[in-house]
Structure 1
Amino acid sequence: MERESFEDEEVSEILNKNFVSIKVDREERPDIDNIYMTACQALTGHGGWPLTIIMTPDKKPFFAGTYFPKKDRMGMPGLISILKSVHDSWVNEKDSLNKYSSQVVSVISESTDNEDYFNSIDEITEDIFEDAFSQFKYDFDNIYGGFGGTPKFPTPHNLYFLLRYWHKTKEEYALTMVEKTLDSMYKGGIYDHIGFGFSRYSTDREWLVPHFEKMLYDNALLAIAYLETYQATKSKKYSDIAKEIFAYVLRDMTSPEGGFYSAEDADSEGEEGKFYIWSADEIKEVLGDTDGEKFCKYFNITEEGNFEGLNIPNLINSTIHGEDKDFVELCRKKLFDHREKRVHPHKDDKILTAGTVL
């Protein structure tokens, strides 16, 4: 959003005319981030970064979200549309917004300010586990995996809980939800099938179009989820995916001294996803017509494209058969070497250790 919106003259004109813009470094001020992340979770049901909050002059939030494109795209409202709508509401319905923001603050205060709230629970009862499992069943997308609506986040901690619930109760549907989610995420465009590793979240239900930023913590937590699912199922595909995640981290996110970098940006050359997307012609140019055609069929790469006229490789509607795994891997390596010549996204090379920024 920094390059797409906040450095954009059209967006800045709207912001400077109608808003007071404040940018907070969440690593410098985790206390502020925690307050407004809680507000985002209360308002939307999920959180994440970049964290976008719109509040009253007395700092009471009434609108929250994470990433928004500059303009409406792929079913997501654009930041320009949001800013214009909020400004119109502030001019014409200020009292309603002030009342709503006070209600939001009241709800957050009730759940977070009472220090004795969590300590009042003497023990975690069976009912708590059952309630949590019931909630996951209610939120589960049984077609594409994952929980809740769009944007759809990996939420590996939810999968950890379900694995432990399955282990304790032998409830097969808990494991089914985990496997369906991990399988669907891997097949989708949220996974980098050329260079490995997961993007932050999907902008759609199918896990096809990601916000292309890659975070170290997401990949670390997802690697654990895949490894624990391998332990539960003994299915080698999950350990193989974990190995690919580790290969990505060791290759692209590890400093010469052995520390781990924080993130890679979503955009390069001013365009989100440019580093990761392909045309069918480029695939065939690298692999040759015959192999290129075959690879395109596996990874759903077409002339029309699935992302702004180009393609995010994915396996949503296909499966790599055992006899073709060597072929796919050979093609992947050729495409990876070709992609390495592109302009890479900016790497956030902060190395975080025990809360210290190096």
Structure 2
Amino acid sequence: MTSEYDKNIAENDRMYRLANVDTENLPEDGGPDFNRLIFSQSPYLLQHAENPVDWYPWGDEAFTKAKSEDKPVFLSIGYATCHWCHVMERESFEDDEVAVVLNEKFVCIKVDREERPDIDDQYMTVAQLLTGGGGWPLTIIMTADKEPFFAATYLPKTPKQQLPGIIEVLDKIDEFWNTNRDAVLDNCSQVLQGLKKAVEPHAGVLEDEAVMAKAFQVLISAFDNTWAGFGVAPKFPLPHYLSFLIRFWKKSRAVNALWMTEDTLKMIRRGGIFDQLGFGIHRYSVDKQWLVPHFEKMLYDQAMMVHACLDAYQATGDSQYRATAGEIASFVLKEMRSSEGGFYSAWDADTDGVEGEYYTWTRQEIFSVLDSDAAEMACRLFDISEQGNFEGRNILHLPVPVQEFADKEGIPLENMQQKIENWRIALETARKERKKPLRDEKILSAWNGLMISALAKCFAVTGESLYREASETALRFITNQLRNAEGRLLRSWYRGKASIHGFLEDYAFIGWALIQMYEATLERQYLDAARKNCKEVLKLFADDEQYGLFDSGSDSKDLLVRKKGGHDGVIPSGNAVAAMNLIRLGKITADSRLLEEGKGILRSFMGSIDGNPITGLHFLSALDYLSCPETEVTFSGRIDTATAREMLLSVHKRLIPGLVLRVSEENAIVLPKGNKAETVVQICASGTCRLPVTETAELERLLDEIA
């Protein structure tokens, strides 16, 4: 099974070659040309299959070997598009001298953090306990019982920039292991106790106003009043911060919550963090002004940014946010969708080991594509200079808004926008002739759930059918390819093979997608599937003794401690999304058990969130949905007519924080005698049910009244 992209670039050609090795005729250790990772289905592990290091995948074989040979385990965790993972591989894991030390003194295990977020999260917590920080590549040294006693991130072969060399570190650990074992085991015991404490959430009460106001004050303090966004370099987009702020603005009418959101979205769209030619958002900016990105493009960032842009569009009616959401979605549909309909994980930052090579330009390259006058103006627009703004080359960005630039050039805005679009197409076409970065063609259930929910929201807000079709196709792919014979959702799919039991975030994010599809289409099949998903979540991840969901299923046996994760990182936690799903479904279906389960999850984390609300903003969004006044919108009759679709679009164009969208039985809403309308809508809000309506204009008037 090949893709066009596999045939186009050398790195994916290499991945294609490794993925198609005839492993049936290889010995169990991979033979002279490979190590055991050659049998893996993970692109990241396959990248390391030709290392001289005797890598093992995570599993009993490696730990049994470590125990029988009385060696510590060297665990390296990373992912396929990780820049510093590539650097450490080139400097250390491809080096014969380093490999000799690792192979003689350790049993070495590689883990793809995207396939195994449970293992990554456990040992990242350990790294934070031991060192106060973390990142990837993550380096852990532990016993054969999986108990860690050393943590680091990137280690060069030889000392540099105040970092010790890996051989020096390995030799010291080997000496310590063989001469002071009691101290090693005592350290393991202390780490394990710290780990158990670190993974326990603290319960609290469901009081939304005070904790939401506290979170808002934290965001105000972190906001960059010059460049927008939150914090200093490196600066992440953090779209779920923006979605929370929009909810808070609607609840409190704090205007600065809205302008912080709008300023951030505008600055990101103009910055180098946004791909001005091919669209899509890079992972983060290394500076505070959004100019120089870390050039990876992650699927989850695209999905979450689409959600934030559409939230802003619903709140303001400003079409620029809808346009940005559409640009990001178009990038995903063109460059991250498999032929089977699922969505790939990421694009790498590097080309031949050079970060950003694919995305940057010289002034001369611009002139080689556009005619002279157009090139001069494009260089002014995108701030392209001879000296460049990134290692002698230029990252395209918009120093001023397009309207301001058009005014300065004396060109009507509409004409300017057409010029920009013509330049964009020409430059992107030329860029496609370059050698592309690696695309990680692994398909993950969780990240696909996020993207499907975003595309379903695109369809709901715009009415454009391509988004519905893409969402439906991707959901079918998940159903057909990422379920085992028992119906258990699986985590990862690569080149025709699915593997690894799904985690809480996989189930929760797919549940989000199903609810979003129901609200976008009003089709019962998605509501039924969402309810079934929630029941599976409670069966696999619930704690029998108290509320709060475990990140790994009851059938998981790999971990020292089962964690209940409640920290929103660049994406919301599985617990927060599951709580929102349960509360939404509980309200839509009037199922009190689902509602109570959602409330129970919220309570189980509220003590932790009250102490540090910035870490639980999606929880707070769920709490706001739980407590805010409901706006019940009930459709009756046919939902497949043009009028029904038009009326549903009117609902979704508006920001309605307490929306409860239902479909009643046919003709359940009584109309005045003689009214033969096929579709009827009734709104109940603020303790009053309005008269049913049958026309879009009537519905919009009612929606405006209750806004």
Is this a same-fold pair by TM over 0.5?
yes
Q: How many residues align?
A: 339
Match of 2:392 among 309, 312, 318: 309
Look up the match of 1:26: 113
Look up the match of 1:245: 328
Maintained 8 Å contact 1:140/1:147: yes
Give the deviation of 1:269 after TM superposition: 2.7
1:210 and 1:298 mapped to 2: Cα distance?
19
TM-score, length basis structure 1: 0.81
Q: Deviations over 1:264-297 (max 9, x none)?
A: 1111233211111100010011002211010011
Residues 300 and 349 (structure 1), Cα distance of their counterparts in 2 relative to 1, 3 Å cut: same
The answer to whether 1:357 aligns with 2:474 is no
Look up the match of 1:121: 204
Match of 1:83 among 163, 186, 204: 163
Tell me the SS of whatever aligns to 2:138: strand
TM-score, length basis structure 2: 0.43
- Larger displacement relative to structure 2 (266-275 or 23-32): 23-32
Give the deviation of 1:227 after TM superposition: 0.8
1:43 and 1:172 mapped to 2: Cα distance?
42
Which residue identity does 1:53 align to in structure 2? L
1:193 and 1:150 mapped to 2: Cα distance?
21
Tell me the SS of whatever aligns to 1:84: coil
Name which one, 1 or 2, has greater alpha-carbon Rg: 2
Give the deviation of 1:18 after TM superposition: 8.8
Q: Deviations over 1:181-232 (max 9, x none)?
A: 1111111111100100001111111111111111111101101101111111
Give the deviation of 1:23 after TM superposition: 3.4
Give the deviation of 1:259 after TM superposition: 1.3
Tell me the SS of whatever aligns to 2:214: helix
Which residue identity does 1:52 align to in structure 2? P
Look up the match of 2:440: 348
Unaligned stretches of 5+ residues in structure 1: 71-78
Give the deviation of 1:150 after TM superposition: 2.1
Residues 199 and 89 (structure 1), Cα distance of their counterparts in 2 relative to 1, 3 Å cut: same
2:191 and 2:264 mapped to 1: Cα distance?
32
1:207 and 1:234 mapped to 2: Cα distance?
25
Look up the match of 1:336: 428
Match of 2:254 among 171, 194, 198: 171
Look up the match of 1:134: 217
Look up the match of 1:271: 354
Look up the match of 1:73: none
Match of 1:296 among 379, 389, 401: 379
2:99 and 2:387 mapped to 1: Cα distance?
39
- Identical amino acids, percent of aligned pairs: 40
Match of 2:148 among 48, 55, 59: 59
Maintained 8 Å contact 1:278/1:310: yes
Tell me the SS of whatever aligns to 1:23: strand
1:336 and 1:136 mapped to 2: Cα distance?
37
2:388 and 2:381 mapped to 1: Cα distance?
14
Root-mean-square deviation over aligned CA pairs? 3.6
Residues 352 and 3 (structure 1), Cα distance of their counterparts in 2 relative to 1, 3 Å cut: closer
Match of 1:7 among 84, 89, 95: 89
1:176 and 1:192 mapped to 2: Cα distance?
23
Give the deviation of 1:126 after TM superposition: 2.1
Maintained 8 Å contact 1:61/1:105: no
Q: Deviations over 1:121-176 (max 9, x none)?
A: 23143221122111111111111122222221111111121111111111111112
Give the deviation of 1:16 after TM superposition: 5.9
Maintained 8 Å contact 2:286/2:294: yes
Residues 168 and 43 (structure 1), Cα distance of their counterparts in 2 relative to 1, 3 Å cut: farther
Which residue identity does 1:23 align to in structure 2? K
Residues 63 and 69 (structure 1), Cα distance of their counterparts in 2 relative to 1, 3 Å cut: closer
1:69 and 1:56 mapped to 2: Cα distance?
13
User: Superposition pairs for residues 149-188 of structure 1, below 5 Å?
Assistant: 149-188=232-271
1:128 and 1:349 mapped to 2: Cα distance?
40
2:169 and 2:222 mapped to 1: Cα distance?
31
